[in-house]
Amino acid sequence: MAIILGIDPGSRKTGFGIIEFNQGKSRYVTSGVIRLVDKAIPARLKVLSESLEELIQCYSPSELSIEQVFLARSADAALKLGHARGAAIVACVTRGMSVNEYSARQIKQSVVGSGGADKTQVQHMVSRLLSLPGVPAEDAADALAAALCHAHTQSSMIHIAGATSVARKRLR
């Protein structure tokens, strides 16, 4: 069984989603959006890091799935996004979690079936795949999609290798 933390990083708000993946089945644990204070970047990163540390302590995920940096509107926006990703990764790595990065296209392809899917399609499919009673917020849905992408990828790799399980990051 793996508990996977998915993160959709942002400099103003960061989505998170936690799922439990066991024997090819995903189960929703929690999700939400960390709203970062409207202050300088160091203060935002502190809030992000502390919030993620609380989540990690509470739910004990063992794996992180995070969206890779894409070319943003501007160099400044890409830099701020990179800072948020870095703070999230450090918060997870210091707790011994493995880090897995996927492009936005890979995540959408894994969950929706199309790498060019829009946000509403991702929200709908995440809701369906995890049997949620409602539609999660955009950022939370993107984070849950990242976690599902990792679960699907890991499951596919095990199947391709002919293994029956993963233990200590090794196929068995």
- Residues with active-site annotation: 8, 67, 139
Are 17 and 159 in contact, with CB atoms under 8 Å apart?
no
Q: Give the whole-angstrom CA distance, residue 129 versus residue 113.
A: 12
Are 4 and 151 in contact, with CB atoms under 8 Å apart?
yes
**Closest-CA residue to 111 (of 157, 69, 142, 134):** 142
For the chain, count helices (H), then strands (E): 5, 7
The β-bridge partners of 2 are: 21
